[in-house]
C-alpha cells in the first residue's frame, strides 16, 4: 500500500471505528484539533498508563505529579518561551498563506533527487543554526520555491512568530493578567522541583514525571494527530549532579529506546536523530524517530537541559533552588535530562504499526479484513465475549463470564450478527481475544478462543479464560 494511501486509510478507519474525530466536525472542524472517540480514548489512556507505570512504578527514584495548565506568566518569561518560543515563518503575498520556513524547504527538498535534496537540507540546517533569516529567504528565492496555493514565488521576508496561546485571568484585561496555555508540561516540574524534593525527601539523582495537555499555535499543522494545536505530552525531568549529565543522557537514550521496543515495534522502524541546532537550554539533544506513513519523524525528544531552567527560575523568582548533596557536601543547582514524548504521536505510531489490510481470498471466496494488531496490553478491549446464539442459555453463560472478567479488564459483549462478522468488527478495533460460547460449552465447560493476529482457534476451559487474558495482557 502506498504510504500516502496508508495514512488516508488510517484516518478513515479511525473515524469509522470511533478512534479519532475531527474536533467540532459539524461546524466544518477546527484546524489541527482532534477528539478521541470511545476506542481511541481507551487506547490513549492505556498508552499513557504504560508510560506512567514504566516511569514511576518501575523506578524507585521517579515520582509523578500533576501540575496545573495555567502558571504564572513569569514562568514563561524565565523559561525563555516569551522571547524565544517562535519559528521562522514566511508568508506568500498572493495566497496570504503562512509557512514554517523549515517545512517549506523540507517539502521542496522532497521533490528533488536525494543527493540534491540532502544538500539543500544541510544548507537549511546551517542557516537555521546561525539564525540567518536573510540567508533562508535567499535560499527560498534562489530555488524558486512556490506556494502550493497561489503557485507563485512572491514571498515576504522571514520573521519570527511566537507559538504560545494567551488569555486573561480575572475580569480585567490588562498585561498583568495575561496567562499562557502551557506549550510544554516541563515547566510545571521545574517550578515544583524543591516542593517535591523536600516533601518526598528525594536524593539526587531522581526524576519527576508528568503527563498532560500542552498547546501550541502551530502554523503548519498537518499529518493528522502528528502536529496538533492542543496535544498531550508525557515528560520526565531527571535531576543529576553537574558533570554527570553526559552519562545520564546516554542512559536515558538507551532506556527510552528499550521502552519503544517493548511495544513490539521492529527496531528497523526507529532511529535516533541528533540535533544540529540545539534549543537555547540544551547541551545535547536527540529525537527518537519512528517510520510513520509519511516517513521517519520525531516521536520523542531526549534533551540534556543543563541547569538552565532551574537557574532561570531562581533568578526570576528570587527563590533559592539549590540542592544540598550530602555525599559531596556541596550546594548546587542540579542538571537535568529530559525525556519528552507526545502521547498523540505515540497513539499515531501505535496505529501506524498496527494497521493492516489483509487479502484473505481463496479460490472459492473473495475476502479481506482490516486488523489492528495492537499490543494486547494497549488494546481498548482485551476480550470479546460472543454467545453463538441469543437463546438456549448461551447469553446467560456469556454474561456470567463478563461479570467475572469486568473488574480485571475491559471486555466487549456482542450477540448480534454471524460470528464471522463479529470477529471482523473486533479485528477492526484491535481486540486480541474473542471467546465464543456455544452448545458444547454447556456440555463440557469449554469455549472456542480465537486469536486476532493468527485467526487460529482452539477450545479451552471456560474457567481458564479470565486468568489467561490477565496473563497475556499484563503490562509487566
Ligand atoms: N519539553 C520539551 C519539549 O516540549 P518538544 O520536542 O518541543 O520538546 C516534545 O516536544 C514532544 O512533544 C515531541 O517529540 C512530540 O512528540 C510532541 N509534540 C510537540 N509538538 C507537538 C504538536 N504540535 N502536536 C503533537 N505532538 C507534539
DSSP string, 69-98: SB--HHHHHHHTHHHH-EEEEEEBTTT--E
Mean pLDDT over residues 363-371, rounded? Answer: 95
Tell me, using a 6 A CB cutoff, whether residue 309 lines ligand 1.
no
Tell me, using a 6 A CB cutoff, whether residue 227 lines ligand 1.
yes
Which of 76, 342, 344 gets mutated to test ligand 1 (max ligand atoms within 8 A of its CB)? 342
Point out the least confidently predicted range of 110-114, 262-266, 339-343: 110-114
Q: Which atom of ligand 1 is nearest to the CA of 346?
A: 16
Q: Which atom of ligand 1 is nearest to the CA of 287?
A: 14
For residue range 121-170, what is the model confidence (pLDDT) as tens digits? 999 988 987 889 999 999 999 999 999 999 999 999 999 889 999 999 98
Would you state the cell numbers that stand for residue 347, as one nine-digit string?
497513539
DSSP-derived secondary structure for 182-217: -S-SHHHHHTTHHHHHHHTT--SSEEEEEEEEEE--
Name the residue with the closest Cα to ligand 1, atom 27.
342
CA of 363 from ligand 1 middle (Å) equals: 49
Would you state the cell numbers that stand for residue 80, as one nine-digit string?
525563555
- pLDDT at 2 (0 to 100): 59
- pLDDT at 20 (0 to 100): 98
Tell me, using a 6 A CB cutoff, whether residue 231 lines ligand 1.
yes
CA of 182 from ligand 1 middle (Å) equals: 12
Which of 287, 345, 349 gets mutated to test ligand 1 (max ligand atoms within 8 A of its CB)? 345
Name the residue with the closest Cα to ligand 1, atom 18.
342
For residue range 427-476, what is the model confidence (pLDDT) as tens digits? 999 999 999 999 999 999 999 999 999 999 999 999 999 999 999 999 99
Structural domains for the chain = 4-70+164-351 (3.30.930.10), 86-162 (3.30.40.230), 381-473 (3.40.50.800)
CA distances from 337 to 76, 203, 285, 429 (A): 20, 16, 9, 37
What is the C-alpha R_g of the chain?
A: 26
Q: Which atom of ligand 1 is nearest to the CA of 300?
A: 14
- pLDDT at 1 (0 to 100): 60
Tell me, using a 6 A CB cutoff, whether residue 342 lines ligand 1.
yes
Name the residue with the closest Cα to ligand 1, atom 16.
342
Tell me, using a 6 A CB cutoff, whether residue 293 lines ligand 1.
no
- First-residue to last-residue Cα distance in the chain: 34
Pairing of strands 330-332, 323-325: antiparallel
Q: How confident is the model at residue 283 (pLDDT cuts 50, 70, 90)?
A: very high
Which of 220, 233, 256, 343 gets mutated to test ligand 1 (max ligand atoms within 8 A of its CB)? 233
For residue range 369-388, what is the model confidence (pLDDT) as tens digits? 999 999 999 999 999 999 99
Tell me, using a 6 A CB cutoff, whether residue 237 lines ligand 1.
no
Angle between helical axes of 38-52 and 343-354 (0-180°, round to 10) = 110
CA of 179 from ligand 1 middle (Å) equals: 21
pLDDT for residue 218 is more than 90: no
DSSP 92: B
Tell me, using a 6 A CB cutoff, whether residue 235 lines ligand 1.
yes
Q: Which atom of ligand 1 is nearest to the CA of 229?
A: 23
Q: Which atom of ligand 1 is nearest to the CA of 342?
A: 16
CA of 343 from ligand 1 middle (Å) equals: 9
CA distances from 255 to 58, 59, 169, 288 (A): 12, 12, 40, 12
CA of 341 from ligand 1 middle (Å) equals: 7
CA of 139 from ligand 1 middle (Å) equals: 27
- pLDDT at 220 (0 to 100): 67
Amino acid at each position: 500500500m502506498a504510504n500516502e494511501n496508508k495514512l488516508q486509510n488510517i484516518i478513515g478507519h479511525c473515524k469509522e471505528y470511533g478512534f479519532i474525530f475531527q474536533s467540532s466536525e459539524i461546524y466544518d472542524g477546527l484546524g489541527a484539533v482532534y477528539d478521541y472517540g470511545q476506542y481511541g480514548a481507551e487506547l490513549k489512556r492505556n498508552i499513557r498508563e504504560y508510560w506512567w507505570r514504566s516511569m514511576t512504578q518501575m523506578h524507585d527514584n521517579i515520582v509523578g505529579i500533576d501540575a496545573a495548565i495555567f502558571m504564572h506568566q513569569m514562568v514563561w518569561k524565565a523559561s525563555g518561551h516569551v522571547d524565544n518560543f517562535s519559528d521562522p515563518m514566511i508568508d506568500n503575498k498572493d495566497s496570504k498563506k503562512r509557512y514554517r520556513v523549515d517545512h517549506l524547504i523540507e517539502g521542496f527538498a522532497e521533490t528533488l533527487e536525494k543527493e540534491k535534496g540532502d544538500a539543500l537540507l544541510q544548507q537549511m540546517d546551517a542557516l537555521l543554526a546561525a539564525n540567518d533569516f536573510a540567508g533562508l529567504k535567499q535560499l527560498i528565492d534562489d530555488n524558486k520555491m512556490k506556494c502550493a496555493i497561489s503557485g507563485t514565488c512572491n514571498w515576504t521576508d522571514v520573521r519570527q512568530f511566537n507559538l504560545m496561546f494567551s488569555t486573561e485571568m480575572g475580569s480585567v484585561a490588562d498585561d498583568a493578567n495575561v496567562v499562557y496555555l502551557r506549550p510544554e508540561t516541563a515547566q510545571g516540574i521545574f517550578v515544583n522541583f524543591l516542593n517535591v524534593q523536600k516533601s518526598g525527601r528525594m536524593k539526587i539523582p531522581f526524576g519527576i514525571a508528568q503527563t498532560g495537555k500542552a498547546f501550541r499555535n502551530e502554523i503548519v499543522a498537518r499529518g493528522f494527530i502528528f502536529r496538533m494545536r492542543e496535544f498531550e505530552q508525557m515528560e520526565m525531568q531527571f535531576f543529576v549532579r553537574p558533570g554527570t549529565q553526559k552519562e545520564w543522557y546516554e542512559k536515558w537514550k538507551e532506556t527510552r529506546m528499550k521502552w519503544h521496543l517493548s511495544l513490539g515495534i521492529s527496531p528497523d522502524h526507529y532511529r535516533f536523530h541528533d540535533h544540529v541546532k540545539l534549543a537555547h537550554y540544551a547541551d545535547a539533544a536527540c529525537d527518537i524517530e519512528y517510520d510513520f506513513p509519511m516517513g521517519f519523524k520525531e516521536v520523542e525528544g531526549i534533551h540534556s537541559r543543563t541547569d538552565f531552567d532551574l537557574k532561570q527560575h531562581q533568578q526570576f523568582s528570587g527563590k533559592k533552588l539549590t540542592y544540598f548533596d550530602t555525599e559531596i557536601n556541596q550546594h548546587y543547582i542540579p542538571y537535568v535530562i529530559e525525556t519528552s514524548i507526545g502521547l498523540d504521536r505515540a497513539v499515531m505510531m501505535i496505529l501506524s504499526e498496527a494497521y493492516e489490510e489483509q487479502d484473505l481470498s481463496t479460490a472459492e471466496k473473495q475476502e479481506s479484513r482490516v486488523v489492528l494488531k495492537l499490543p494486547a496490553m494497549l488494546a481498548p478491549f482485551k476480550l470479546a465475549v460472543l454467545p453463538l446464539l441469543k437463546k438456549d442459555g448461551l447469553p446467560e453463560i456469556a454474561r456470567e463470564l463478563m461479570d467475572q472478567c469486568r473488574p480485571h479488564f475491559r471486555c466487549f459483549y456482542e450477540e448480534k450478527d454471524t460470528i464471522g462478522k463479529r470477529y471482523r468488527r473486533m479485528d477492526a478495533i484491535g481486540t486480541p481475544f474473542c471467546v465464543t460460547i456455544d452448545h458444547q460449552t454447556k456440555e463440557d465447560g469449554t469455549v472456542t478462543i480465537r486469536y486476532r493476529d493468527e485467526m487460529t482457534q482452539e477450545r479451552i476451559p471456560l474457567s481458564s479464560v479470565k486468568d489467561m487474558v490477565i496473563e497475556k495482557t499484563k503490562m509487566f
